[in-house]
Structure 1
Amino acid sequence: MKLLLLLCLSVPSFCYGFSIPFFNSQKDPSDEYLHSMPYTKEEILEVRRKLNLSLVSDPDEYLSVPQLITKYGYPVEEHFTKTSDGYILRMHRIPPTKPGVTPNGEVVFLMHGLLMSSADWIILGPEKALAYYLADQGFDVWMGNARGNTYSRNHTRLKPHKSKFWKFSWHEIGTKDVPAMIDYTLKVTKKKALFHVGHSQGTTSFYVMCSELPKYNKKIIAHVSLAPIAFMKHAFSPIVRFASQLLVVPKTLLSIFGMNEILPHSALLTFLGNHFCAEGEKTEFMCRDVLFAVTGFDRAEFNDTLLPTFLGHTPAGSSARQFYHYAQLVKSGKFRQYDHFPFNSLHYGPLHPINPPSYNLKKVKAPVYLFYSNNDWLSHPKDVDNLCSKLGNCKSKTLVAENRFNHLDYVLGKHAKERIYTEVTEQVLENSLKEWRLRNSLTAEDEDDVLLEDGFDDDSASDEEYEDQDE
């Protein structure tokens, strides 16, 4: 048994298949409409008892996001909103009501990456995690959860055990999920616009939203991209590049066996994290290296003590199509919509019989601030340069000073606060807020002229005229 569990650590896909009949403790979705915590302390301890292992555990590994926030002395709220196609999304909020904190009246919306959740923004703990740091500065902090992850596995009609539930990629997250959550947040807070911070897929979905739905540019004071992902031609990760070359094979096999969800959260993964990945365990290095093989090696920034807690919340699940869509970007070198070849003309019309249409990044007119690093094996500096040149309003590119900084360090790095968060808060958010207030202090007539001049309301740029060429 232990040999099988060790194999799970090094081969995640095997772990997923092995866990289905024995350790996946998720209840039938028909049993409940809104789950607040799919895997409880008792369920995890039961796995330990069956394997005759220690019952001592790190409490943070099985606490939900609201429980973690409450544990560390911050106020928390859970909110739900519905997308236009029926998905029910859960958001977590840290309102600016903590004793001793003076609210600054501004809202920040945080959006997680692939296979992750709102837990990303609090894993580092008080005074270090971005959500807590922003809350301490007086911001009203909202954290989104994309359809299909641990906290957003509900729909008005569809159930997660049905394949139709999983027929989406990050295109739908960008065109439906993020807009729905932003609209809800602005309605509750009675604001006209907010700050948006994304990590990895959280940046991808933002570019999709603002290029496909340009009216949302006006609802964004500024967007901060941590490890931006749009173009992936130069992605260095050997695992990602190998997977992109086998694009058709895994898609076909998964479809045949009905595996539409990839790496859902399970009691097994939480157990593995606590028993095999805890600091001091002989197998700890395997846990780190599996992550590093995808994101880039950086042992100096990696906090070993947080690994069990991280694996207690991640992976949080995603659709297979999200992976396929990224693999298509790696293979094509373009930032395009989902490739349905040979049926693209049925989805996108006769003008796109072979390739899907590219996202028109010229329409992304909200101020965008890019933070990238040399050791990020998914977000390569050359791809970031290409992205900035194509965005409609790329305000700046900031190369992280530490050369070893990898893709996960933006949310898990020991010095993420010093290297990233302080600059985001003290420079980017502060300066962009001044610019936004200046623009909104104009008369209504003048404001319309400025918006049109800046391109915020200009939807005239034809997608057919957009050139998506390598640079």
Structure 2
Amino acid sequence: MPIKNCLQVEIIASRGYPVEIHEVITEDGYILELHRIPYGKGQVPKRDVEKQVVFIQQRFLNTDNVWLITPNDQGLAYILADTGVYDVWLGNARGNTYSRKHVYLDPSEEDYWNFSFDEMGNYDIPAVINYVLAKTGRSTMSYVGHSMGCAMFFICMSLRPELNAKIDVMIGLAPASSVAESQTGLRFQAPFVNLLVNLLPVIDGHNPAGTSVRTAAHFAQNFNAGQTFQRYDFGPTENQLRYGQATPPAYDLSQVTCPVFLFWGQSDKVVDPRDVAWLASKLGNLKASIQVEDQSWNHVDHLFSPDAKRLVYDKFIPLLPKAS
């Protein structure tokens, strides 16, 4: 796709990497912008060499710049591209700075923002998986998610289990699902979740990168519900229409049958180790749940710590398959 003006593209190109912009249209009409780094700095593309596809999905209120603006240019996207064996794709969830378009809805109007991370998992991730595999000609890909990027993946595989066959491995960094033990501001906002949704249709900004208030409300609902990971609660009447029951059903995490590796920090106040342990007990094909070897490791250290490469990336990159 032709290159257009885009901060992420400028960041990637300024560091000497090739970059492409791709647009993916979801089943419900949202237009997502992906950024691709097909090979590393100074490398010459070889048509006869197949590369393993790795897709990376960002967390709540961020864009894919979290994988690009890092200490000493040690961002995960660059590290993977420089190996020479990975074709790197970066995702942007609906509603953020780069994925704020729709085939007919106007982002300036409230109807555009009627989504939570449920729709991101049910529509965005399936669309991205199918687009990237069709574009690259590959039959499978690897998925790396951070926080909400993991929640989106688990929702996708729970609601559309046939897609498990297209994922050879999933790496979950600070994986969000249950947030019952979260120690963040969510604990104080959750009692007011219904009022919050009624007051404001969108959390806007650049970094934070913008999202719907319903997305924040969905996390708050899950906090209020205790140790579970459930669909959005529309209230008894609407729930009955949508789900066939008065309460929102839990996502069936046993349907996540592709291989999953979890990496988490002991000092993470957003995704508490107890919530990770709950998640690990529910997944259908957990290969390992790995504590980062730093007792002070927190939620954003997976992205911004100067030790992220040594303590996390160098641990999971060998788990990613190579193209056969």
1:41-95 superposed Cα distances (whole Å, 9 cap, x missing partner): xxxxxxxxxxxxxxxxxxxxxxx11000000000000011111111111100001
Whether 2:276 is the aligned partner of 1:329: answer no
| 1:73 partner SS | coil
- 1:260 matched to 2:151: no
> What amino acid is aligned across from residue 99 of structure 2 in structure 1?
S
Distance in structure 2 (CA, Å) of the matches to 1:361 and 1:104: 32
In structure 2, the partner of 1:347 is 242
Q: 1:391 maps to what in 2? A: 283
Q: How far is 1:104 from its partner?
A: 6.3
Indicate if the aligned counterparts of 1:169 and 1:325 stay in contact, CA closer than 8 A. Answer: yes
Distance 1:105 1:248 in 2: 47
Return the index of the structure with the highest Cα Rg: 1
Partner AA of 1:169 in structure 2: S
Structure-2 residue corresponding to 1:281:
none
Q: Deviations over 1:365-392 (max 9, x none)?
A: 0101000111111111111111111100
Which amino acid letter does the alignment assign opposite residue 325 of structure 1?
H
Q: 1:374 aligns with which of 266, 272, 276?
A: 266
Establish whether residue 96 from structure 1 lines up as the match of residue 39 from structure 2.
yes
Q: Distance in 2 between matches of 1:107 and 1:226?
A: 18
Q: Deviation per CA, 1:391-430: give whole Å up to 9, x if none.
A: 000110010111111111111112111110111112x214
Counterpart residue number, 1:70: 13
1:311-368: CA deviation from partner (whole Å, max 9, x where unpaired): xxx211001110000001111122000001132112211xx21x20110111000101
Q: Deviations over 1:270-309 (max 9, x none)?
A: xxxxxxxxxxxxxxxxxxxxxxxxxxxxxxxxxxxxxxxx
Amino acid at match of 1:220: I
Contact 2:302 2:312 in 1 (8 A): yes
* Residue in structure 2 matched with residue 241 of structure 1 by the alignment: 187
Q: Which amino acid aligns with 1:248?
A: N
Aligned ranges 1:182-193 → 2 under 5 Å: 182-193=129-140
1:79 matched to 2:22? The reply is: yes
SS at match of 1:247: helix
User: What's 2:68 paired with?
Assistant: 122
1:133 to partner: Cα distance: 0.4
Contact 1:101 1:137 in 2 (8 A): no
Could you tell me how far apart the structure 1 residues matched to 2:212 and 2:230 are? 18
- Quote the residue 1:164 is aligned against: 111
Give CA deviations for 1:435-467 in whole Å, capped at 9, x if unaligned: xx7xxxxxxxxxxxxxxxxxxxxxxxxxxxxxx
**Conservation of the 8 A alpha-carbon contact between 1:75 and 1:98:** yes
User: How far 1:240 moved relative to its partner?
Assistant: 1.4
Aligned to 2:232: 338
User: What displacement does 1:98 show?
Assistant: 3.8
User: RMSD value over aligned CA atoms?
Assistant: 1.8
Match of 1:422 in 2: 314
Matches within 5 A, 1:148-227: 148-227=95-174
- Code of the residue aligned with 2:205 in structure 1: it is P
Distance of 1:124 and 1:387 partners within structure 2: 29
Contact 1:153–1:160 at 8 Å: present in 2 too? yes
- Measure the CA separation in 2 of the matches of 1:374 and 1:104: 38
8 Å Cα contact 1:375-1:405 kept in structure 2: yes
Runs of 4 or more above 3 Å deviation: 34-37, 100-104
Q: Could you tell me which amino acid in structure 1 is paired with residue 33 of structure 2?
A: R
- Matched with 2:175 is 228
Between 70-79 and 100-109, report the one with greater CA deviation.
100-109
**TM-score with structure 2 setting the length:** 0.93
Contact 2:71 2:306 in 1 (8 A): no
C-alpha displacement of 1:263: 3.0
| Structure 1 residue identity aligned to 2:266 | N
Q: For the residues of structure 2 that align with 1:130 and 1:424, how far apart are their CA atoms? A: 11
Asked if 1:404 corresponds to 2:308, the answer is no
| 1:101–1:136 Cα contact (<8 Å) kept | no
CA separation in 2, counterparts of 1:407 and 1:35? 33
Distance across 1 between alignment mates of 2:295 and 2:73: 24
Any idea what SS the aligned residue of 2:89 has? strand
Letter in 2 for 1:429: L
Give the AA of the match of 2:291. L
Match of 2:290, SS state, is strand
How far 1:162 sits from its partner (Å)?
0.8
Amino acid at match of 2:214: R
Cα distance in 1 for residues equivalent to 2:178 and 2:138: 32
2:40–2:78 contact (8 Å) kept in structure 1: no
What does residue range 48-67 of structure 1 map to in structure 2 within 5 Å? 64-67=7-10
**1:101-158 CA distance string (max 9 Å, x none):** 7866111000000001111110116641000000011210000111110001111100
For residues 132 and 126 of structure 1, the distance between their equivalents in structure 2, rounded to whole angstroms, comes to: 11
* Contact kept in structure 2, 1:203 and 1:225, CA below 8 Å: yes
Secondary structure of the residue that 1:197 maps to in structure 2?
strand
Q: Contact (CA 8 Å) 1:125, 1:132: kept in 2 or not?
A: no
> Are 2:22 and 2:33, in contact at CA under 8 Å, matched by a contact in 1?
yes
